[in-house]
Amino acid sequence: MANDEQAGLESIVETAVDGIITINEQGVVESFNLAAELLFGYAADEVIGHNVSMLMPAPDRHQHDNYLANYLATGEKRIIGIGREVTGLRQDGSTFPMRLSVGEFWFGEQRRFTGIVHDLTEPKRAEERALQAERLAAIGQMMTVLTHESRNLLQICRANLEILEMEIADRPAALECASRIQTAQDKLTHLFRDFTNRKDPILLA
């Protein structure tokens, strides 16, 4: 490959938005672009020459070499040429979700693997926010229906309680009990009214 072509290829890799990592058949990192440095928090020279499993949390870290050896022996693919969602491990010990696509190529007689890492942190957060909004909307709708039905039932109770008070007009003790019931119902009615008048997002969903 001409020097200009080589320089152009290296420029593409270094300016790529996604992390690009190449490893050999032993799983040792041979290249680590700038985006990968930003994603994992390592400088390239801290990773190159080390096993790529250092970028994986357990149990993937301990299974990687076995998977690679199994692929080289049998050709059975679990991620190479397929891609899947996995978890990455940063230098500071924190983890993040990522989409890993792995390709295989030959450099002369030597086999190499290229991993393209796409950070899924923001998409996952957006997905969680959307799910949370859906849950809040569902709760809001349920509470609106519950409040409406409860107020209707309270009105029925109030009407029947007024009839009962007329029937027991000559029984002071019974009237006192009815009055306490009415007071409790009035408080409950006010609570429902206050609830439906609130401006919380849950009620506006």
Q: Which domain holds residue 51?
A: 3-119
DSSP 100: E
Average of pLDDT values for 46-73?
Answer: 90
Write out pLDDT tens, residues 82-128: 788 999 999 999 999 999 999 999 888 889 999 999 999 999 899 88
Do 103 and 135 fall within a single domain? no
User: Which among 91, 119, 147 is the end of a domain?
Assistant: 119
pTM: 0.64
Q: Residue 95: give its domain's CATH number.
A: 3.30.450.20
CB under 8 Å to 100, separation ≥6 — which residues? 79, 83, 84, 85, 86, 115, 116, 117, 118
N- to C-terminal Cα separation, the chain: 60
Q: What is the mean pLDDT of residues 47-57?
A: 96
Residue at which a domain ends, from 119, 142, 177: 119
pLDDT of residue 204: 41
**How high does pLDDT run on average in the chain?**
85
Looking at 85, 119, 153, the residue that finishes a domain is 119
Q: Give the chain's domain count.
A: 2
Range with top average pLDDT, 20-34, 96-110, 144-158, 167-181: 20-34
- Average pLDDT value for residue range 9-25: 83
Number of C-beta neighbours around residue 166 at 10 A: 7
